[in-house]
Amino acid sequence: MENFVFYNPTKLVFGKNTVEQIGEYLKKDKIKKVLLLAGGGSIKKNGVYEKVVRSLIENSIEKVEVWGVRANPVVSKVREAIDVARKEKVDAILAVGGGSVIDSGKAVAAGVMYEGDVWDFYQGKATPKDALPLYTILTLSATGTEMNGGTVVTNEELLEKFSFWSIHTFPKVSIVDPEVQYSLPPHQTVNGAVDAISHVMEYYFDGAKRTDLIDRVDESIILTLMETTEALLNDPKDYDARANFALSTTLALNGISGLGHRGGDWSSHAIEHALSALNPEVAHGAGLAVVFPAWMKYVYKANPTKFRRFGRTIFRLKNSTPTQAIDALKRWYKKIGAPTTLKELGFKREDIETLTEIAAKTVPMGKLVKLEKEDIRKILEIAYEEE
């Protein structure tokens, strides 16, 4: 087990009828005016927006709104929101939506307090020294951003999808009401499941040794995500399945799943970011369903024991080979309707070269195996089509 420091100051407010508590939490913290950041309008359909507005009014909290954060959020929208936040002198950011809205909210919160351009944080040219307090209401459980300091944003001009992490961008309060997610289309639940399972696997397969407890915890999260995803595909309004699914996605990336690990491998994420940088229509979860198993096939020889354990604990395979374990994962992804090849995502063989170029901007990458540009190309080739 590796040394670690765990610190997660986010207050997680979880359960039924919690959205309407947002005003009280803001008032308790003496917030007078917020920038409400949102996506394309789904929160008007599912009733969340109305509850938020009523709660703000009841607690005498002013708001200014910025709409239009899209999936695979872009830095131009972040810059727009930073301008509004400054002009309107808000005390806090209130991000209401899925991972894209919250990740953008983190960038806005830190960007407002920084003189330079917010993209500097993503390029590692600067680190946040401070941020406006961030409050979030999560409407799509997937990325785990509601309880960590990380943010991923795309620079659409540079074709870069980069991330940064800061202790200043942990949400102060995050509200997760599983009922809000009853109306999600099935593919969003599937993408969320793949995303969260991938987060856990980034740690699980990072090559750390004797992480006895956290291996079991990670397997617990993956098994629960699999079980609840299948339950939700049958009945999207199964409250307890939604709740366990939501909690699993939060714990998948709030630090717990990686305690005593080597920080996670993150190669699959870095390669996937190239996919959605090139084609913003590719959902992050869908991209990961394609890239992660390909990465596994390329690297498993560095730790075959762990891949066999994965087959045994997750898929109940007895005496399986690593390849059988990886194939079982792909089969399950197919079963829930996730893509498993680049071809299915609409990429052509010629795109492999461009994707390699984009992903190679951050080489060397990875912990279990250190990957260079040539390795990325080979992984993308494995990912292209079914053998």
Q: What is the binding site for its own copies (CB under 8 A)?
A: 1-18, 209-214, 216-217, 219-221, 223-224, 227-228, 239-240, 243-244, 247-248, 251, 256, 259-260
Strands 160-165 and 150-155: antiparallel
Residue 341 has which token pair?
């090849």
Name residues whose C-beta falls within 8 Å of residue 361's C-beta, 6 or more positions apart in sequence: 160
Q: Based on CB atoms, which residue is closest to its own copies, 8 or 60?
A: 8
Tell me how far, at minimum, the Cβ of 171 lies from its own copies, in Å.
Answer: 12
Q: Based on CB atoms, which residue is closest to its own copies, 332 or 384?
A: 332
Tell me how far, at minimum, the Cβ of 44 lies from its own copies, in Å.
Answer: 25
Tell me how far, at minimum, the Cβ of 239 lies from its own copies, in Å.
Answer: 8
Nearest CA to 149 out of 135, 172, 170, 171 is that of: 170
Q: Based on CB atoms, which residue is closest to its own copies, 197 or 283?
A: 197
Distance, CA of 122 to CA of 148 (rounded, Å): 16
Q: Based on CB atoms, which residue is closest to its own copies, 246 or 278?
A: 246
Amino acid identity, residue 295?
W
Cα→Cα distances 381→217, 291, 353, Å: 33, 10, 10
Nearest CA to 331 out of 315, 318, 342 is that of: 315
Nearest CA to 16 out of 250, 239, 224 is that of: 239
Distance, CA of 248 to CA of 245 (rounded, Å): 5
94 beta partners: 36, 135
Tell me how far, at minimum, the Cβ of 12 lies from its own copies, in Å.
Answer: 4
Distance, CA of 319 to CA of 312 (rounded, Å): 8
Tell me how far, at minimum, the Cβ of 79 lies from its own copies, in Å.
Answer: 32
Tell me how far, at minimum, the Cβ of 252 lies from its own copies, in Å.
Answer: 10
Residue 12 has which token pair?
């997680």
Q: Based on CB atoms, which residue is closest to its own copies, 111 or 260?
A: 260
Sign of CA dihedral 41, 186, 218, 298: negative
Nearest CA to 272 out of 337, 218, 204, 191 is that of: 191
Cα→Cα distances 151→74, 190, 298, 309, 380, Å: 12, 21, 28, 31, 25
Tell me how far, at minimum, the Cβ of 240 lies from its own copies, in Å.
Answer: 4
Tell me how far, at minimum, the Cβ of 360 lies from its own copies, in Å.
Answer: 34
Residue 225 has which token pair?
């995500």
Q: Based on CB atoms, which residue is closest to its own copies, 157 or 240?
A: 240
Q: Based on CB atoms, which residue is closest to its own copies, 104 or 248?
A: 248
Q: Based on CB atoms, which residue is closest to its own copies, 104 or 211?
A: 211
